[in-house]
């Protein structure tokens, strides 16, 4: 099957009363850009649109790739999530006859819109406000405990899937990679590389999926609260502070080094922990809540010691020729798992940041549900699209600028040639002046 492209969906969704079969969506209005075209957030696996139907607002996710078993995953996920009452999860419907493109029906996910900003854009606004950062770290702990208590894991915790509402509350979106007790086998996706363990594979699929990413996010929040300058030095627009390269080579990581030198002892300990767990197997990453408890009671040294014993054997850091693990600047010996969401950021420049949306809507707090139209159709694909947010331009914080490219040395004899050119030029000017004077 040839799936619609982003452009195909862009053309189709301009006529909601024709392209949608869902009664509510048929009467909806699609949010448009300044040119009057549907505003879209396009990713590797989906196009996401904002639509308003009466007093309700939804994010409509249109798939551009297929992953087998998606329909069944959403059905079982709905059964698991229904009635849990977790505020961090938002309501959704998986609609098989979701949108008509070129006279063919394709599925969509109809998810309650979250009035807020993706985590990285929210931090763009508060990176120099320690109280708000520490409050966000506490709320992350509450969210993770709620998932853990119900044997759930999001599977792709990252800046685009963690939304922050205007009152600093956390909402999670994109459940395509979620783990529930009903699921077995391999993970359908490996998550964003800038937040995932460098040794994560599809075989690692259980309730411990989020431990590494949660530790990365929590460490970043505490570090910024203590040292706001880290944001300008290490933020790229596609991360918080760390990149996949930091995880693959923690001994050479400048940001981990800064964590370990931080004035806050908790940040120091978390930096040491990250340096070690990046070299251990992903299954050895400690439970996030256990790490938090250790931070509270001052027993982090014991946690770090236990992880050190499970770290990878000594390896050679690329380009260094030096043997050793984390203590000698070694790198994780395995490459980044294939199929993980690519890390597009670099530590030079950033994406255009955005400001807090002014939409009057309130955060969605309904329990997740499911509506599957009974029309026969193949199983459909998951998506890694960027998550919706209402945005407007604002001034970006400064970031580390590119270093100038070293100049190529001038060839031998270049100075002699330059002197000759200057002499000839001077003679030419004198001849011109003499000619001008004589001609008068």
DSSP state string for 32-66: B-TTSSBPEEE-SSEEEEEEEETTEEEEEEEESS-
pLDDT at 293 over 90: yes
pLDDT at 126 over 70: yes
Interatomic CA distance for residues 333 and 436, integer angstroms: 76
pLDDT band per the 50, 70, 90 thresholds, residue 309: confident
How far is 243 from 102, CA to CA, in rounded Å? 40
Whether the predicted pLDDT of 330 surpasses 70: no
pLDDT band at 419 (very low <50, low <70, confident <90, very high): low
Query: For residue range 2-41, what is the model confidence (pLDDT) as tens digits?
Result: 889 999 999 999 999 999 999 999 999 999 999 899 999 8
Range scoring the smallest mean pLDDT among 116-130, 216-230, 392-406? 392-406
Give the tens place of pLDDT for each residue, 42-52. 776 789 999 99
- Is residue 411 scored above 80 in pLDDT? no
Residue 328 has pLDDT above 70, yes or no: no
For the chain, domain boundaries: 117-328
Measure Cα distances from 263 to 33, 259, 268 in Å.
45, 9, 8
The pLDDT of residue 68 is: 65
Residues 92-98, mean pLDDT to the nearest whole number: 90
CA distance 199 to 119: 24
In this predicted structure, the answer to whether residue 316 has a pLDDT above a threshold of 90 is: no
pLDDT given for residue 46 in this prediction: 84
- Output the CA torsion sign for 184, 185, 191, 194: positive
| pLDDT value of residue 312 | 52
* Mean pLDDT to the nearest integer, 127-131: 97
* Residue-level pLDDT at 335: 39
Q: What is the mean pLDDT of residues 250-267?
A: 97
Kindly state the greatest CA–CA separation across the chain: 102
Task: Could you please state the CATH topology (level 3) that the domain comprising 117-328 is classified under.
Answer: Transferase(Phosphotransferase); domain 1 (1.10.510)
Locate all alpha helices (DSSP H) within 280-366, ordered by sequence: 288-297, 300-309
- Separation in Å, CA 253 to CA 6, 127, 219, 241, 260: 37, 21, 15, 11, 11
Nearest alpha-carbon partner for 274 in 239, 307, 229: 307
For helices 288-297 and 130-149, give the axis angle rounded to 10 degrees: 130
Q: What is the pLDDT of residues 216-231, one digit of tens each?
A: 999 999 999 999 999 9
- CA separation, residue 171 to residues 110, 167, 369, 379 (Å): 16, 11, 16, 27
pLDDT at 336 over 90: no
Who has greater pLDDT, 126 or 346?
126
pLDDT at 207 over 60: yes
Question: Over pLDDT 70: what percentage of the chain?
Answer: 72
Whether pLDDT at 348 is above 70: no
pLDDT (mean) for 89-101: 92
Q: What distance in Å separates the CA atoms of residue 229 and residue 394, rounded to the nearest whole number?
A: 19
Per-residue pLDDT, 172? 96
Rounded to an integer, the average pLDDT of 417-436 is 72
Backbone angles phi, psi at 187, to 5 degrees: -70, 135
Closest by CA position to 157, among listed 91, 239, 235: 239
Candidates 4, 107, 20, 85; CA nearest to 381 is 107
In the chain, what percentage of residues exceed pLDDT 90?
Answer: 56
CA 31/CA 40 separation, integer angstroms: 9
pLDDT over 80 (residue 60) = yes
C-alpha distance from residue 17 to each of 32, 50, 94, 100, 142 (Å)? 16, 15, 19, 11, 41
pLDDT top residue among 347 and 131: 131
Mean pLDDT over the full length of the chain: 79
Query: Residue 142 CB: number of other CB atoms within 10 A?
Result: 12
* Mean pLDDT value of segment 359-377: 40
Question: Average pLDDT, stretch 244-266?
Answer: 97
pLDDT of 327 strictly over 60: no
Q: What does 92-156 look like in DSSP terms, one character per residue?
A: EEEEEEEEEETTEEEEEEEEEPP-SEEHHHHHHHHTT-HHHHHHHHHHHHHHHHHHHHTT-B-S-
pLDDT of residue 440: 61
């Amino acid at each position: 099957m040839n799936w619609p492209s982003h452009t195909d969906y862009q053309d189709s969704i301009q006529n909601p009363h024709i392209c949608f079969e869902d009664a509510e969506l048929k009467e909806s209005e699609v949010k448009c850009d300044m040119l009057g075209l549907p505003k879209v957030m396009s990713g590797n696996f989906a196009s996401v649109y904002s639509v308003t139907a009466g007093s309700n607002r939804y994010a409509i996710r249109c798939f551009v790739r297929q992953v087998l078993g998606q329909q069944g995953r959403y059905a079982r996920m709905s059964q698991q999530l229904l009635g849990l009452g977790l505020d961090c999860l938002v309501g959704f419907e998986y609609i098989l006859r979701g949108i008509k493109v070129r006279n063919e029906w394709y599925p969509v996910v109809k998810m309650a819109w979250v009035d807020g900003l993706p985590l990285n854009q929210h931090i763009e606004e508060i990176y120099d406000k320690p109280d708000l950062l520490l409050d966000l770290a506490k709320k992350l702990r509450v969210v993770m405990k709620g998932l853990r208590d119900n044997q759930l894991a999001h599977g792709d915790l990252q800046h685009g899937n963690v939304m922050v509402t205007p009152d600093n509350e956390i909402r999670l979106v994109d459940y395509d990679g979620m783990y529930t007790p009903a699921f077995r086998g391999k993970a359908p996706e490996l998550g964003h590389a800038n937040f995932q363990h460098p040794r994560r594979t599809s075989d690692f699929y259980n309730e411990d999926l989020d431990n590494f990413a949660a530790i990365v996010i929590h460490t970043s929040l505490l570090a910024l609260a203590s040292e706001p300058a880290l944001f300008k030095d290490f933020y790229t627009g596609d991360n918080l502070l760390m990149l996949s390269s930091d995880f693959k080579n923690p001994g050479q990581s400048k940001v981990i080094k800064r964590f370990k030198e931080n004035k806050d002892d908790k940040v120091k300990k978390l930096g040491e922990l990250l340096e070690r767990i990046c070299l251990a197997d992903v299954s050895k990453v400690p439970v996030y809540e256990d790490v938090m408890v250790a931070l509270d009671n001052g027993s982090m040294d014991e946690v770090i010691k236990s992880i050190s014993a499970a770290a990878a054997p000594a390896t050679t850091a690329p380009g260094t020729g030096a043997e050793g693990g984390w203590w000698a600047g070694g790198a994780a010996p395995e490459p980044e798992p294939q199929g993980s969401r690519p890390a597009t950021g670099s530590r030079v420049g950033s994406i255009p940041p955005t400001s807090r949306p002014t939409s009057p809507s309130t955060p969605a707090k309904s329990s997740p549900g499911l509506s599957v139209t009974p029309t026969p159709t193949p199983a459909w694909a998951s998506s890694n699209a960027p998550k919706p947010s209402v945005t407007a331009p604002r001034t970006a914080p400064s970031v580390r600028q590119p270093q100038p490219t070293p100049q190529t040395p001038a060839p031998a004899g270049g100075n002699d040639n330059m002197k000759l050119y200057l002499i000839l030029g001077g003679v030419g000017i004198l001849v011109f002046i003499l000619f001008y004077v004589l001609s008068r």
